[in-house]
Amino acid sequence: MEGLGVAKDYKEAARLFRLAADQGSLDAQTGLGLIYEKGLGVVQNHIEAARWYRRAADQGYANAQVRLGILHEKGLGVTRDPALAIALYRQAAAGGNPEAHFRIGTCLIAGTQCGARDPVEGRRLIGIAAEQGYPTAQDWIAANPQ
């Protein structure tokens, strides 16, 4: 999809991702979801994005769980369901996904969507994401020193 060594061709990327996704590749299913979510080489379609993310998320693929969680958090192509979004983030965090750690952490600090406010646990989770190299978490830590 990045066009390394060749010109970017999102339509061709979408075609190739679909071939691999139909054969069960979790990376490709998630990639195809992202293509539909962002409208890269296809008409933007959050419903189709959610469908592809769900296929991979249901098989435990952490990146897809995060992407599907974001759609549920925002109500894009699916019913807005913050509780389900948090549940998906927790599944992805259990799989070691740094973005999931960050999203749960910020939720706990803000006290939104995930129940009781717990800034200590929230900061700990953001720290995990930062240690895993997640740039947004690293920026947050730098901007919010203890």
Percent of the chain with pLDDT strictly greater than 90: 88
List pLDDT tens digits, range 96-125.
Answer: 999 999 999 999 999 877 778 999 999 999
Q: Report d(CA 130, CA 146) in Å as an integer.
A: 15
DSSP 3-state of 66? helix
| Type of residue found at 125 | L
- Higher-confidence position of 64 and 117: 64
Q: How confident is the model at residue 138 (pLDDT cuts 50, 70, 90)?
A: very high
Please tell me the predicted confidence (pLDDT) of residue 50. Answer: 98
Q: Is it the case that residue 2 has pLDDT exceeding 90?
A: no
Q: Report d(CA 79, CA 34) in Å as an integer.
A: 18
Give me the chain's average pLDDT, please.
94
Place of tokens 């959610």: 50
Alpha helices of the chain — where are they, by DSSP H?
A: 10-22, 26-38, 46-57, 62-74, 82-94, 98-110, 119-131, 135-143
